[in-house]
Chain A
Amino acid sequence: MLNPLSHPGAGKPPMFGDYEAQRHWQEITFNLPIKQWYFNSSDNNLQYWGLDYPPLTAYHSLLCAYVAKFINPDWIALHTSRGYESQAHKLFMRTTVLIADLLIYIPAVVLYCCCLKEISTKKKVANALCILLYPGLILIDYGHFHLGFALWGVLGVSCDWDLLGSLAFCLAINYKQMELYHSLPFFCFLLGKCFKKGLKGKGFVLLIKLACTVVASFILCWLPFCTEREQTLQVLRRLFPVDRGLFEDKVANIWCSFSIFLKIKEILPHHFQIIISFCFTFLSLLPACVKLTLQPSSKGFRFTLVSCALSFFLFSFQVHEKSILLVSLPVCLVLSEIPFMSTWFLLVSTFSMLPLLLKDELLMPLVVTTIAFFIACATSFSIFEKTSEEELQLKSFSLSVRKYLPCFTFLSRIIQYLFLISVITMVLLTLITVTLDPPQKLPDLFSVLVCFVSCLHFLFFLVYFNIIIMWDSKSGRNQKKIN
């Protein structure tokens, strides 16, 4: 909702990198035949913002290019339009993003909040407002198409419109391959549903239908690229650049933080890095996924989305700072159930992008939107009153622990203190990064500190969400119903 105001008038400079990339993709898709989009050629220099997202992004760029051609062909002229920047063009680019948001993302959020059960209309509106005010998505303001489609997917699957939901999710994956972070929970949840309905009857039918939907949607999107093996392989090579290395730049994930102490990037051989990253990722998300397959529930599905995406973010290959948005979206969905922890997580996720946002001179919008978001959440959900064990969904966990340690009664207090320390640390680090200059011997000191602190937070949240998933038992839910 703040988007219209922080568009052209607010003078936020275009993120030269990604802005130019989007413009370049419009140029490429409009001027070159489909067969050449993903290949290196004299007309298409892949080193200069080469296309590295799946075909649906390319089609979307093509559509925008047609509109651009209608308004001003200079914007997408082959070769000559590189680095093109003008007020009108900025307006055009921001408008395309805004329209995408209005058509896909915002209706999904509103519909999701309407479908929430057991809360009043006022709370639903407040919930929608808080999700839309999430600073991360406002400040990184383009390419929300995939999140919108993923959200439609979640909505469909939670409301038992399985085919539509999986279609929407396939479209999301074909838009940005990072949506694969969310793919395992979808797979496990739908598989679990099929098992529940009985593999010998309705379940099997559902499984076949889902398989057909997925295959059909993929074929439809990849049709121009399916004709030759070389085409498909080249696209895959662009989508998954495995020769790039474990991580690039500073990102709040395990490998980057670990490399403070031990330079694993240089010590370990390349293929070994891929293998250990793969192993760690899958080991960390296995318990939740297995549980989801065996006991599929809408609530378990959403929490598993969070924990899977977080596992991928922390342990996976070539993670970008912006990928935290893939974790933030599912957390927004559980905002009404665990408001305190969700708000805390969303604040940390915004903080983790601090170096990126400062690079684009977004300090003032960052501060303003974070304060607005925090106040909106704090007043809508009264988060500070909801820090008891019951509210944090840790009751069953604490009860189990208390069988062995009877004195374990101070969990909510610890969490409150941790929250306070966390907020103070984040504010201090922000102030330091903005006001002071880093020492000459360690020019990246502040970014590394931000990443390290965020990583510790994310590990804590990973443990927390996994605890909720594993200790969320049927008996617990039955007790609630009885009460």
Chain B
Amino acid sequence: MAALGIAMGGGNWFSALALGVTLLKCLLIPTYHSTDFEVHRNWLAITHSLPVSQWYYEATSEWTLDYPPFFAWFEYALSHVAKYFDQEMLNVRNLNYSSSRTLLFQRFSVIFTDALFVYAVHECCKCIDGKKAGKELTEKPKFILSVLLLWNFGLLIVDHIHFQYNGFLFGLMLLSIARLFQKRHMEGAFLFAVLLHFKHIYLYVAPAYGVYLLRSYCFTANKPDGSIRWNSFSFVRVISLGLIVFLVSALSLGPFLALNQLPQVLSRLFPFKRGLCHAYWAPNFWALYNALDKVLSIIGLELKLLDPNKIPKASMTSGLVQQFQHTVLPSVTPLATLICTLIAILKRKTSF
């Protein structure tokens, strides 16, 4: 009884936060879920019922596999647990199948894989020096960070209501960042490479990783004033980093290279046919660009500067995923967006 008491009242606030948010996630199980629920069920079905050679070709459902191979293997592993919950969900033809057991399994899989996220937050907290803070628990940086990360409501809504697996992916990213802070650069690089092959959207932060590793790991020493000592460049380190990335990529894309499916996989991963903006606009520059184009076209029509017959009928706000031509302003190609992104990144890097 006393031992239980000590375990309970030990003041371990981190466990309390983690357990509390897990209980909250359990309460969210019967809430609304979006089409992403069906997306993941479909991927469970594809990876379970079909051979590897068909994974990136299967198109019975509109939600085709468009994440890198590691995620596909992850779904494959999950499907082996899923079969004990409801065998029917693993049938590719069962579109929009969502029995109560399917729902339970999917929700629990997200909650369970969030364990990696919890571990990663724990590791990040270890990297923070909280000695300067006050004695009150709520003033400690570690506590504040844990609350902001573990109880992040945006993540709760997207992962546990809308339904996605961002929790454990962010866990991987936070873990790799924590490892970089702990000067375990190789592990950090390895974890990030693995992450890229889980969800390639993390390419957004790849340049930052690349530059950081180059500067902090490959240049082994600094001049007294903190700037780069150019002759301390370590080829061994660069090569070892490159080897890690190469090996991870080989593990991931290797099988598909052997099957000669690499172009198909890449076309699934980077679907440029989808258009400049997603069905639901992200609040970025191109949304403003589209809005401006729309406003200008309306003004043009009102002032009779534009011919109504020449304006394309499809509207960008109709929620469809497709390629689209701009009316007034010049159309934007994928190459143009890449150049703009690179210029923006480089500008930031040079101002360092």
Contacts and interface: CB of A to CB of B under 8 A. Distances in A.
A379 interface: yes
Contacts of A385: 2, 5, 9
Contacts of A379: 8-9, 16
B2 to A, nearest CB: 7
12 contacts: A5-B24, A10-B28, A10-B31, A364-B29, A364-B30, A367-B26, A372-B20, A378-B9, A385-B2, A385-B9, A387-B1, A416-B1
B346 interface: no
Interface size, A (range): 20 to 34
B8 A9 contact: no
B114 to A, nearest CB: 16
B23 interface: yes
A12 to B, nearest CB: 8
A375 B9 CA distance: 9
A463 interface: no
Contact of B26 (A12, A368, A378): A368
A371 B20 CA distance: 10
A203 interface: no
A5 B8 contact: no
B258 interface: no
Interface string B1-41: 11011001100000010011001101111111000000000
Contacts of B16: 375, 379
Interface in B30-57: 30-32
A10 B9 contact: no
A384 interface: yes
A9 B32 CA distance: 7
Given A375-B19, A387-B1, A368 B27 contact: yes
A458 B105 CA distance: 38
A226 interface: no
Contacts of B28: 5, 9-10
A10 B30 contact: yes
B174 to A, nearest CB: 26
A36 interface: no
B22 to A, nearest CB: 9
A420 B28 CA distance: 31
B23 A368 contact: yes
A368 B23 CA distance: 6
Given A364-B26, A368-B26, A416-B1, 17 more contacts: A5-B27, A5-B28, A6-B27, A9-B28, A9-B32, A10-B30, A365-B27, A367-B26, A368-B23, A371-B23, A375-B16, A378-B9, A379-B16, A383-B5, A384-B1, A384-B5, A384-B9
A370 B96 CA distance: 34
A382 interface: yes
Contacts of B20: 372
Interface in A195-210: none
The 10 closest A-B pairs by CB, nearest first: A384-B5, A11-B30, A382-B9, A378-B8, A385-B5, A368-B23, A368-B26, A9-B31, A372-B23, A416-B1
